[in-house]
Amino acid sequence: MLDQIQIILSHTTHPGNIGAAARAMKVMGLSQLKLINPKFFPSAEATERASKAADILSNAKVYTDINSALSECRLVVGASVRTRSLPSRLVTPRELTTIIKQKPENQPIAILFGTENSGLTNDELHLCHYQVYIPTNPEYSSLNLASAVQLISYEMRLAFAEMQQLPEAKVNANEQSITQQQFDSLQQHFYQIMLETGYVNPHHVKQLENRLNRLLSKAQVTQSENRLLRGFLSAIEKRRRRVSQPQENEEAMLEREKYDV
């Protein structure tokens, strides 16, 4: 689907913007770039800004008039941050993806971007079925050309790339959450040490228990974190019971090793 979407840049003045637009496309998985009368192209500056999207530049088709650039497209959308007195139907980028989803597949779709300073001309806008309006700050709506391509390409990726899966974090055994039983033991251990240190007033315990429960629950403690906390609590415990005995550090370290922290 992303290959059906053609980004068409009309009368681009700065070749750097063409390169940056190519990079913006590729990073979102788009590949079809067309240029209508670019002021400078090919250009070393475009290639530099494209970074590793130079393939998109070398495959880009260059046209001298808009009609031949659009000839095979079934849906033409003009990108603009401004509205005109006779606007095409105005949609947000997100609404545009809904419209595209309703179209038959395998039909080329053109998204047309005008020249940097003045945007699409009225003649260009008249060729558009829709005008896609990128929401901007009304006090400063000067969206850079490549940034506009970036935002549109991003919305297309969200809508059409193969199921947007977050990359699966590699979860090893240490990173798995603790079981409810481990959770209860951890909480009990905390609570016991709080009692032993005299931190808890045994007559007003319920609220503290609830708070401790919620805090530990929010932390979503993992196996390795559980060992860290249990080892720490055991070290406090041992220290208390063997206080003023020699070799305490060694004791605590053994405790730490036992819990494999």
Contact set for a copy of itself, span 214-243 (CB under 8 A): 214-216, 218-221, 224-225, 228-229, 231-232, 235-236, 239-240, 243
Identified binder of a copy of itself from the candidate list 43, 74, 209, 256, rule CB under 8 A = 256
Shortest Cβ 121–a copy of itself spacing (Å): 18
| Cα angle, residue 54 at apex, residues 144 and 132 outer, rounded to 5° | 35
Quick one: which of 65, 117, 170, 173 contacts a copy of itself (CB under 8 A)?
A: 170
Question: Per CB under 8 A, does 130 bind a copy of itself?
Answer: no
Residue from 52, 61, 126, 258 touching a copy of itself (CB under 8 A): that is: 52
DSSP letters spanning 107-142: --EEEEE-BTTTBS-HHHHHT-SEEEE---BTTB--
> What's the rounded Cα separation, in Å, for the pair 9 and 64?
12
Residue among 79, 82, 31, 78 nearest 53 (CA): 31
Residue closer to a copy of itself (CB basis): 122 or 169: 169
Does position 86 interact with a copy of itself (CB under 8 A)? The reply is: yes
Sequence-separated (6 or more) residues with CB below 8 Å from residue 95: none
Which is closer to a copy of itself, CB of 24 or CB of 76? 24
CB of 82 to a copy of itself, least distance (A): 8
Residue from 117, 118, 122, 137 binding a copy of itself (CB under 8 A): 137
User: Where are the extended beta strands (E) located within the chain?
Assistant: 5-10, 32-36, 61-63, 75-80, 89-91, 109-113, 130-133
CB nearer to a copy of itself: give 64 or 163: 163
Q: What minimum distance in Å lies between the beta carbon of 213 and a copy of itself?
A: 11
> Rounded to an integer, what distance in angstroms lies between the CA atom of residue 109 and that of residue 73?
5
In terms of C-beta density within 10 A (0-12 exposed, 13-18 middle, 19 or more buried), how is residue 251 classed? middle
Among 83, 179, 188, 245, binds a copy of itself (CB under 8 A): 83
To a copy of itself, the closest distance from the beta carbon of 68 in angstroms equals 26
